[in-house]
Structure formats: C-alpha cells, structure tokens
Structure 1
Amino acid sequence: MEKLSGSWRQVFDKFWFVPAVCVLGAVVLAQSAVAVDRWMPEDLDSPWIAWVYAVGIDGSRSMLSAIGGSMLGVAATAFSITISVIATASSTYGPRLVRNFMADRGNQVVLGVLVSTFIYTLLVLRTIRSASDDLAQPFVPHLAVNLAVLMAVADVALVVYFIHHIADSVQVDTLVHGVRRRLLAVIDRWHPEETPEELVRTAGGRRGGGPLSAGVVGYVTSVNLERLGAFAADQDVFVELVPRVGDHVLPEEPLFRVWPEHRAEELAERLRRTVALGDSRSALQDVRFAEQQVVELAVRALSPSTNDPYTAVNAIEEVASGIVAAVSRPLPGNTVVVDGVHRLRYGTVGVEEIVDMPFDQIGPHTTEHVSVLLALVDLAARIEAASIHPSVQRQVREHVDVLLDRFRDTSPHPRDVTRVEQHVRLRSAD
C-alpha cells in the first residue's frame, strides 16, 4: 500500500472499492460461464456435462430468482447491521474510529460477495430461453446455474462469518488491539531499530529556499519519501518538506522549499504529486494520529456518560507497546542522502512528543479514578526503564510529579493518597 501514490491509496481505502471489484468479477464470471455453456454439447447425456445437474428451464429460472432475491435481501440486512454498528461505535468510541470499520476488509468482502451473487444470477437469468420465446433457440446454462447454487451455499457460510465478525469487531479488546497494531506499524516505519544507510539526522537552519505552496487545503496524509528523494537527486536539487505527516496546511502555506530557489516553480507539479493531502488524517503514516486513536479510547472511557476505567487502563497498557518501542530506539533520520549528497529533509515526530500525549490528554481525567492513575504511573516506569534517551527519563519523572500534584489538589481520601504514593515509590525503586 505504501508504494502506491496518494490518489490510488485513497481509492483503495474507499468502502465501495472491494464491493465494486466483486461486482465486476461477477459480471465476468457470468459471461464466462454462459459462454462455456454455449460451447458445451447440448446433449445432457454427454460425458462433458454428465456431472452437471440439469433442472430444466422453469426450474433454472425459479432457482436463480430465489437465489438472487434472497441474496439481495441478505445484503441489505448486512448493510443495515454495518451502519448500525458504525453509528454505535461513533457515539461510544469516537468518530475517528469509524474509518476503521469502514476500512474493514471483512465487511467489504461480505457485502461485495452478496451483491455480486445477485448480479451474477441476474445476468445468468436473462440468458435462459424456452421454446415459446421468439428470440432464440431453447437454452439453459446448466453450468452457470449450478455455479449460482454453489455461490449461494458459500454465501450462507459467509453470512455466519459476518455475524461473528461484526459482533467481535465492536468489542473493546478488538478495537484496542486494532489501534495498537496500527500504532506499532507506523512506529516501525518512522522509528526503525536500525537507521537505513541513506538516512542521517541533521539539524535545520538552511536559509532561503524557493517556497512552493500547497495549493489546496487539507491534511498531509502520506509522503512518498523514496520517490521524492530520487526525484531530488535526479534534478540535482535539495528539497525540504515543510509540514510533517498529519499537519494541516492551507493553500498559501509552503509545502516545500527548494534549493536553488529558481527551480521551485519548475518542479512544482511533480513535487506536489509525492505528497497526498486529504480531508482527514490517516493512521497509515501519521504517528500522532495513530497514537491519538488509542489515547482517545481512554479519554472517552473516562467521560461521565461512559465511566469505564477498565477500558481506560486497557488502552494505557496497549499504548505502552508503541511508546516503549519508540524510546528504546535511536532518534530517526530526517535527511535522505543520495550518493553522498543531502537531497531531502523532512520533519519527524520526536520521542518527547510521543511520550507527552497520554499523560497530557489522559492525566487530567484521572483524579477520580485511582486505577487509571496507577496505570499511568506504571506507563511512566515502563518508559523510563526502556528509554535510551536521558531527556525522556527526566520527562516521565516530571509527568509523574504532575500527576501526583493534580491528584493531591482534589483532596482525595488519605487511604488513596497513601496507596498512590506507595505505588510511585515501588515503581521508582524498580
């Protein structure tokens, strides 16, 4: 997926893409099966088609009508269930997680196969001819009809899978595990265990440069760094990508800076094609958005209307995997080097920013939930133990102090204060 251009990736992420492919496949399959039926001998006793069960003209029409009508009804029911689940997830877990349901390949395949079965039976049904028809000789596509029966049997199994899948997808554990996997994937992309040879870390400070505006408004959803670096080397220029992935840009704001300056307008269109801008953020390359999805689960779970501290604790434990992975690795490179020459510089999300998010966003909601506060203390201890950066270790200690100060300001019960302070000392000793 990451090798695709931004526009193609957006198409593949659409909810309708897989169903559209399935419908197209159904059209091809129907035409191919009918063509094979026309080629096969008409004698039903022929060994070519002895294994095919022939039900006659009226039976074939009735069977295809029943399969097509029932599958369309089942598809409508499955679509209604999906919309209901999306509405429930949006109100309970946050609107940004709705896209995870929309992008779920399981839901897309089920709806696509059910609808394509209806299209298949409709196309096969129109080819059946009886002796009373004036248009052609009597014809029954026996192979195509029996394929429709097999598709109907497969659809029944698919409906059973869909019921299980949709029930499993709304469980909190499934949601948390899904966003954790996306967070780990994007952490591995931007914070690899070993920095590639073509990447180095440099400080900013180049002056000037020909500014190249974005031209449109939107979020930077993805960047093709390989293509961008190769293009800069081919054109013998140095390019700086101004916004980071996930930043919001306006049409007049700079998207690139190019050295030498006079080459900016010349390379404008080809440079813009390496960056995808969208109306909303995507967790594919956006570290902050991927982490925010996990953190938002915890924040919403602590809202008065939900009041589910167990989900918040679960989310904190899951986000730890991504943060620990980031702080235990060297700082990522931000400059692409081609043949020993710096060609591309871009901004990265620092480990300090990754560490800050759960404490800054969840911390203010933990004063009434001791269990969640203790989970944040455990998170700080995990980060401090895994980090290879002294600044991060000092950072998490400051976060723990802030949590304690905020907790004491609420005048909690002395027993809770003692419990929290003992837990902090215990984790600090570890």
Structure 2
Amino acid sequence: MKKLSGSWRRVFNKFWFLPGLCVLIAVVLAQSVVALDRWLPEGLDSPWVVWVYAVGIDGSRAMLAAIGGSMLGVAATAFSITISVIATASSTYGPRLVRNFMADRGNQLVLGVLVSTFIYTLLVLRTIRSASDDLAQPFVPHLAVNLAVLLAVADVALVVYFIHHIADSVQVDTLVRGARRRLLDVLERWHPEEVPEDLVRTARHRGGGGEIPAGADGYVVGVGFERLRDHASSGDVEVELVPRVGDHVLASEPLFRVWPEHRAEELAERLRHCIRLSDSRSTDQDVRFAEQQVVELAVRALSPSTNDPYTAVNAIEEIASALVRAVSRPLPGNTVVVDGVHRLRFGTVELDELVDLPFDQIRPHATGHVSVLLALVDLAARLGTAAVHPSVQRQAREHVDVLLDQFRDSSPHPRDLARVEHHARSRSAG
C-alpha cells in the first residue's frame, strides 16, 4: 500500500473496489470452469462425472436459479441491516463513523462474495443447453454447477460471519479501538522514533516568495512529499507548503510559496498535482482529525442522552497510548534537505496542540463525572512522565490545575473534591 500512488490508493480504498474485484473474478471463474467442462468428456457415463454430483438439465437450471436468486436477496437484506446499524451508531457516536463502516474490508468482502456468487450462477446458467433448444447440442457444465453449490455453502458460512462481524463492529470497545489504531498509524508517520537524515527542524520564516493559489476549495487531505521534494530539487527552487494537512483552503488563498519567486508560475501545475483537496477530512495523513475522532467518542459518551462515562474513560486511555509515544520522541522535522540545500518546508502539528485537544474538549463535559476527571488526571501524569520535552511536562501540570479549578467552581460534594485532589497529588508525587 505504501508503494501505491495517491490516486491508486484512493481507488483501492473505495467501497466498491473489493466487490468489483470479486465480480470480475466471478466472471473469469465462470468462463474458465465452463470451458473446462466443455473440454472434459461428455455424458453421464464419463469417468470424471462419477466424482461429481451430476443432475439433469432441468435440475441444474433450477439449482442455479435458486442459488443466484437467494444470494442476491441475502445480500440486499444483509446490507439493509448494515445501513440501519450504521444509522444508529452514527447518531450515538458521531456521523464520521459511517466512513469507517464503509471502509471496513469485512463488509466489502461479504457484499463482494454474495454478489459475485449471483453473477457466477447467472453466467453458468446461460450455458446450459437442452435438445429442444434450436441448433444446440445438449450441454450441462457439471463441474461449474457443483462449484456453484460449494459457493452457496461458503456464502452461508459468510453470512454467519457477517452477523458476528456487524454485531462486533458496533460495540463501543471496537469503535474506540479502531479510532486509536488510526491515530497510532498517522502518529507513526509524523512522529517516528528516528527522524530521517534529510528532514530537519527549522524555525526560519522566509519572507517574500512567489505565491501559488490553491485553485480550488477544500481540505488538504493528502500531500505527496516525495514528489514535492523532487520537483523542488529538479527545478532548483525552495518550496513552502502554506497550509498544513487538515487545513481548509479557498481557491484564492496561497497553497505554496516558491523562491525564487519568478519560478512560481512555471511550477504551479506540477506542485498542485502533489496536493489532494477534498470536501471532507481524512485520517490518512491528518493527525489532528485522527485524534479528534477518539476525543469525539469521549465527548459524545458524556452527553446527557448517552451518559456513558465508562466509554469516555476508555477513550481517554486509548488517547494516552498514542500521545505517550508522541511526547517521548523527538520533535518532528519540517524541512526537507537535499544535498545540503533546503528544498521543501511544511507545517507540522506541534505537541502542544496534540496535548491540549483532549483536555480542552473533554474537560467542560467531565465535571459531573468523577471517574472521567480521574482518567484525565492519569492522562496528564502519564504524559508528564513519558515526555522528554520540559514544555510538555509543564503543559500537563497546567491542565491538572485548570481541571481542579473548574471542578471546584462546579460546587462538587466535598467527598468527590477530596478524592480528585488526593488523586492529583498522588499522581503528581509519583
């Protein structure tokens, strides 16, 4: 997947790609097996027919018609259930979960196999000939018909798997775990254990430069950093990507700045082709959006309509597993160097943004839930212990102070206040 270009990766991740591939395989399989049937000796007394279940022309037609019709009906029913489940889950834990269900390979595989079974049986059915057909020799593809029966048996097992899979995929623990996995994947991209040698961190903001407008409205969801580096190096220019991944840009706003500025117009189209804009954000490269999905699960769990503090605690613990890795590693580089020359500069998501997000968004909803407050204190303590940057340690302590001040202002029960304060002191001392 990492070797695929951005365009091919987008196609590969589409909901229809895997079902379409299954249908293509079904077409090839049907034609191949029928051709093999034509090559094998004909007649029920042929030696190879003894090893398969052979039925007559009418029986084969009826069997294929029953398998094909039932599989298409099962596919329609299964995905009607899926849409209903998605609607319920998205209303409870956020509409962005719909995209995660659509990207689920298990759901795609079930749809693909059920539909491809229908296509297979349809193509095999059309090859059956009887003596009464005009200008046709009797022909029954016994091997293809038996393979259809095996596919039907496999589809039954697949439907059982689908019921289990869809029931498991809407469980809160599975949703939180999936959001955490996506956050870890994108964090590894932006905060690796070892910064590449050609990537350095600079604080220099060079003035001037030729501006290249975005040319379209949308969110920056994909950046081809390697291609940008190559274009900058081959053109002997320095390029700065103005927005960060996840930022929204307008068509008239600058997308790049180029030095020397007179080369900007010449390189405009090539540089724009390295950026993918979309109407919605994606977790492929957007670490802020990936973290926001986990935080949103916690916030929605604390809403009065849901009132599920256990899920909020679970989400905070999953956030900790990701942020602890980020704060224990070097700061990400923001400038690509080629042969000692700065060629590409881009904005990164700083650690303080990643650390602030869960505290600032969950804290206003957590004052009525002591267990969530304790989880936030634990998160701050973990970050302070794992951080190799003093600024992050100070930031974690400040969030605990703000948390305690807000909790005191909410007039809690003295026992709850004493419990939270004692926990904060013990974790700070530890």
Tell me the TM-score range normalised by the shorter chain.
over 0.9
Q: Distance in 2 between matches of 1:45 and 1:264?
A: 78
1:293 aligns with 2:305: no
Offset at residue 135 of structure 1 (A): 4.1
Q: TM-score, normalised by structure 2?
A: 0.98
Tell me if 1:80 matches 2:74. Answer: no
How many angstroms apart in 2 are the aligned matches of 1:322 and 1:261?
40
Partner of 1:5: 5
Matches within 5 A, 1:169-180: 169-180=169-180
2:37 alignment partner, SS class: helix
In the alignment, what sits opposite 1:33? 33
Task: Trace 1:14-413 onto structure 2 (pairs within 5 A).
Answer: 14-413=14-413
How far is 1:2 from its partner?
4.1
- Residue 50 of structure 1: CA displacement? 3.9
**1:7·1:276 contact (CA, 8 Å) conserved in 2?**
no
Give unpaired runs (5+ residues) of structure 1.
none
Instruction: Give the C-alpha shift of residue 274 in structure 1.
Output: 1.3
CA distance, structure 2, for counterparts of residue 44 and residue 245 of structure 1: 66
After TM superposition, the structure 1 stretch with the greater mean CA deviation from structure 2, 231-240 or 60-69, is 231-240
Task: Please list the CA deviations of residues 159-213 of structure 1 after superposition, one character each: whole Å capped at 9, or x if unmatched.
Answer: 1110110010011111111111111111111000100111111113111111111
Question: Which residue identity does 2:9 align to in structure 1?
Answer: R
CA distance in 2, matches of 1:205, 1:135: 81
Equivalent-residue separation in structure 1 for 2:9 and 2:209 (angstroms)? 31
3-state DSSP of counterpart to 1:265: helix
Please report how far the alpha carbon of residue 327 of structure 1 lies from its aligned counterpart in structure 2 after TM superposition.
0.4
How far apart, CA to CA, are the structure 1 residues paired with 2:45 and 2:354? 72
* Counterpart AA for 2:206: R
Deviation larger for 384-393 or 222-231: 222-231
Q: Kindly provide the CA deviation profile for residues 135-174 of structure 1, in whole angstroms up to 9, marking residues without a partner as x.
A: 4211111121111111111111111110110010011111
SS in 2 for 1:222: strand
1:237: Cα distance to partner? 1.5
Query: How far 1:79 moved relative to its partner?
Result: 0.8
Q: After the TM superposition, list the runs of 4 or more consecutive aligned residues in structure 1 that deviate by more than 3 angstroms.
A: 1-7, 43-50
Residue type at the aligned position of 1:413: H
Q: Tell me the secondary structure at the aligned position of residue 130 of structure 1.
A: coil
Paired residue secondary structure (1:133): coil
CA distance in 1, matches of 2:242, 2:341: 20
Secondary structure of the 2:51 match is coil
SS in 2 for 1:15: coil
CA distance in 2 between partners of 1:3 and 1:291 (Å): 25
Give the stretch that moved more between structures: 83-92 or 224-233: 224-233
Secondary structure of the residue that 2:265 maps to in structure 1? coil
CA drift of 1:41 comes to 2.0
Aligned to 1:95, the other structure's residue is in SS state coil
Q: How much does 1:231 deviate?
A: 2.3
| Counterpart-to-counterpart distance in 1, 2:113 and 2:270 | 39
Aligned residues: CA RMSD: 1.2
Question: What is the distance in 1 between the residues matched to 2:210 and 2:2?
Answer: 28
Identity among equivalent positions (%) equals 82
TM-score, normalized by length of structure 1? Answer: 0.98
Paired with 1:45 and 1:226, the residues of 2 have a C-alpha distance of 65
Q: Is the 8 A contact 1:30 1:123 kept in 2?
A: yes
Deviation at 1:267, TM superposition (A): 1.5
Name the amino acid aligned to 1:398: E
- CA distance in 1: counterparts of 2:279 and 2:185, whole angstroms: 22
CA–CA distance in 2 between the matches of 1:221 and 1:154? 39
Q: CA deviation at 1:6?
A: 3.2
The Cα of 1:368 is off from its aligned counterpart by 0.6
Deviations 1:283-341 (A, max 9, x none): 11110011001000000000010011000000000100111111000001111112222
Distance 1:204 1:3 in 2: 32
AA aligned to 1:184 is L
Amino acid at match of 1:33: V
Q: Does 1:418 align with 2:418?
A: yes
- Is the contact made by 1:93 and 1:297 (CA closer than 8 Å) also made in structure 2? yes
Q: d(CA) in 1 for partners of 2:406 and 2:85?
A: 37
Which deviates the most, 191-200 or 265-274?
265-274
Asked if the contact 1:5/1:274 (under 8 Å) is kept, the reply is no
Separation in structure 1 between the aligned mates of residue 145 and residue 3 of structure 2, nearest angstrom: 41
CA contact (8 A) 1:202 1:335 kept: yes
- Deviations 1:11-43 (CA, angstroms, capped at 9, x unpaired): 222212211111111111111211222222214
For residue 244 of structure 2, give the secondary structure of its aligned residue in structure 1.
Answer: coil
Which piece of structure 1 moves more, 206-215 or 98-107?
Answer: 206-215
Give the number of aligned pairs.
Answer: 430
Partner Cα separation in structure 2 for residue 404 and residue 135 of structure 1: 89
Q: Deviations over 1:337-371 (max 9, x none)?
A: 12222111111100110000000000111111111
Code of the residue aligned with 1:324 in structure 2: it is: V
